[in-house]
Structure 1
Amino acid sequence: MKKILSIITLLYAFTACSQEKSKDKPKEAKSNTILLADPTIFYSNGLYYLYGTTSGDFPNGEGFQVYTSSDLRDWKGPVGAQNGLALKKGDSFGDKGFWAPQILSYKNKFYMIYTANENIAFATSDSPLGPFKNESKEPIIKTGNQIDPFIFIDEDGKKYLYHVRLTNGNRIFVAEINDDFQSIKAETLTECISGVLPWENTQNVNWPVTEGPTVLKHNGLYYMIYSANDFRNIDYAVGYATAKSPLGPWEKASESPIISRKNTKQNGIGHGDVFWDKDNKMNYVLHTHFNESAVSPRKAGIISIEFSGNKIVAKPESFSFLEVK
């Protein structure tokens, strides 16, 4: 049983990917930088599609915006099928807290897996621009609270849902997901990672946060890239772990964090997704704090990463913000 926490602690934990609060917003003029948190980039037919938790003036209780670019430098948008939205409230599960989407292309359809109402759901579309709609307006997991979904499909066709369960901390779990993406195989539910290392909990809080998992496979080894600390902490950062099986056990990399304010000079940098560009180079799209004094609205950027042997290495000098031009 989850021990009873104070209201303050609950609010601290359950807002780890929270909606933006107007009191946090700076008064300074906006730039052209795209204001998205928990971003993901999906590449299809020569075009990059950028999605994320809405972090600017548009309420993130309304759905998901999408931006497009042909070169990762000049972005247009929001250009979603419904007033800039790829998915909007009413066509989907949930009515608040639309966070952390992921896009898949599977069997001639586009799938969006996302968080709403602190639960996880799937929507489909014929276009990356949407409209994405849910066939069933029910969450995939019907007990407890979970956020930050990521689907990994292995070479043998098995599908895995990595996600964060809100239980004595933001802890990363995995379970096999059925082929219809509507339910998990409950008997396979396994905890992967929790925040126990010093870099993962720099404020020594009672509710440690590990979240935003992305999983990939390289040379027969599974890699999980994840973020740690509360997103409002300037030490929010990115590390990784490896395993010989999608279900773990996971061994955290000794060189983590690989992306942090120490090597990028950006506060609150993390929670993104891996993508490969047109030249088949690996990148990580993520968010940062707005500036040194304000967390929100969070800004989207990209950084190059690569494999060096069996290690993942980031190139801090490659970091850049994403801008509408």
Structure 2
Amino acid sequence: MTSKNRALKFIAVSISYFLIAFWICSCSLRSQAQDAAEESSINLADPTVFYHEGTYYLYGTVEGNADEGFEVYTSKDMKSWEGPAGVRDGFALKQGEAFGTKGFWAPQVFYHQGKFYMAYTANENIAIAESNSPLGPFKQQVKQPLAVPVKQIDPFIFMDDDGKKYLYHVRLKDGNRIFVAEMTDNFSGIKEETLRECIAAEEPWENTANADWPVAEGPTVLKHKGLYYMIYSANDFRNPDYAVGYATSRSPLGPWVKHNSSPVISTKTIGESGTGHGDILKDKSGNLVYVFHTHQSDTTVAPRKTAMVKANFLESPGGGEAKLIVDPNSFFYPKVKH
């Protein structure tokens, strides 16, 4: 083979390798673009995750459509989700089948004695609906809220080791203030004599705008080694400084002591605006995860995006009170497939 022929063969082979590499790269970029197009963030505010028999169920305030009810998404790993999967056109609770005509906010789903329950807000009242499935339909035979003399939102029902049930909630009275009361066994109401105020927004981080109507809301409670931990949010949800702190108590009725490490989730720790109002759960491995929402961007509040971050208890070397900590590096936005 002449030098000229060898040179031509080398050029031909080089071009072939280049075309192959270009084709592989193009395919990879197309695949990445398709993957990105097939997944997107979930726009549920005030979110909660309920785990049952190997499946995670995600509910929340439906941004832009909060008068319809509550959608639900499903996942096996909490990273990739499918839905909306509710039996009523994607909704697990549909307006008209339970109390409420507008403002369906901040649901909580739990399982008790063979039934699934949803505590939720509608028309600035709290109601509780039932279902035979986490996918719904959640209904009420009598479409009415819990009977109270004030507006109240953001329910969280906690069942203690002794079987007693407690309703943590927010009353709209001189600000958004967190209250608790023991419930009746059938969840039909509260025992008024047990009503206690838990948390008001009084710390500097809880009212960065010095608003006349301070906000503490979104309570969720868990128990660790005999101590009760209340995780809550403060500031108006439209404020970029919306953030999450916690308090502890020796009794489910309080008094509550705010922890000096608060806020544990904020724009400073996570790097996103409007971080707050969520729920804590144990995943299938027993690890704590806090699900919450953020603003859509640094300049736009809505639609708020569902987010998640890992949490843990840091035990005291001396056997004292464990500290609730959050791992900012574990922050992520769950995605839904299309």
TM-score by length of structure 2 reads 0.86
Q: Which residue of 2 aligns with 1:13?
A: none
Superposed, 1:83-94 pairs within 5 Å as: 83-94=89-100
Deviations 1:105-128 (A, max 9, x none): 000000000000000000000000
- Contact 2:43–2:305 (CA<8 Å) still a contact in 1? yes
Q: What's the counterpart of residue 23 of structure 1? A: none
CA distance in 2, matches of 1:30, 1:74: 11
1:9 match: none
Asked if residue 229 in structure 1 is aligned to residue 235 in structure 2, the reply is yes
The equivalent residue for 2:328 is 316
Q: In structure 2, what is the equivalent of residue 174 of structure 1?
A: 180
Alignment of 1:106-121 (within 5 A): 106-121=112-127
Quote the offset at 1:30 in angstroms. Answer: 11
Amino acid at match of 2:275: I
Of the three residues 120, 128, 134, the one matched with 2:134 is 128
> 1:73-121, CA deviations, whole angstroms, 9 ceiling, x for partnerless residues?
1100001000000000100101000000000100000000000000000
Give the partner amino acid of 1:48.
Answer: Y
Which of 24, 32, 42 lines up with 1:34 in the alignment?
Answer: 42
Aligned match of 1:217: 223
1:31 Cα shift? 7.1
The answer as to 2:176 corresponding to 1:164 is no
Report SS of the residue matched to 1:93. Answer: coil
SS at match of 2:41: coil
Residue ranges of structure 2 left out of the alignment (5+ in a row): 1-36, 316-321
Pairwise CA distance, 1:181: 0.6
Structure of greater relative contact order (alpha carbons < 8 Å, 6+ residues apart): 1
1:43 offset after TM fit, Å?
Answer: 0.4
Asked if 1:258 corresponds to 2:264, the answer is yes
Please give the secondary structure, in 2, of the residue aligned with 1:32: strand
Counterpart among 58, 63, 66 of residue 55 in structure 1: 63
Q: How far apart, in 1, do the equivalents of 2:177 and 2:270 lie? A: 26
C-alpha displacement of 1:142: 3.0
Q: Distance in 1 between matches of 2:38 and 2:171?
A: 35
2:111 corresponds in structure 1 to 105
Divergent runs of 4+, >6 A: none
**Counterparts of 1:89 and 1:318 in 2: how far apart (Å)?**
36
Larger radius of gyration: 2
> Residue 191 of structure 1 aligns with which residue?
197
Look up the match of 1:241. Answer: 247
Q: Distance in 1 between matches of 2:335 and 2:188?
A: 35
**What code does the residue aligned with 1:177 have?**
M
Task: Report how far residue 213 of structure 1 moved.
Answer: 0.2
Structure 1's unaligned 5+ residue stretches are 1-28
Q: Per-residue CA shift, 1:45-78, capped at 9, x if unaligned?
A: 110000000015xx11010000000011110000
Quick one: distance in 1 between partners of 2:178 and 2:259?
16
CA deviation map 1:208-244 (0-9, x unaligned): 0000000011010000000000000000000000000
The secondary structure found in structure 1 opposite 2:149 is: coil
Alignment of 1:299 with 2:305, yes or no, is yes
Residue in structure 1 matching 2:52, options 37, 44, 51: 44
Normalising by the residue count of structure 1, what TM-score does the alignment of the two structures yield?
0.89
Q: Is the 8 Å Cα contact of residues 39 and 336 (structure 2) preserved in structure 1? A: no
Q: Secondary structure at the match of 2:40?
A: coil
Whole-angstrom CA distance in 2 between matches of 1:179 and 1:122: 13
Distance in 1 of aligned mates of 2:272 and 2:265? 10
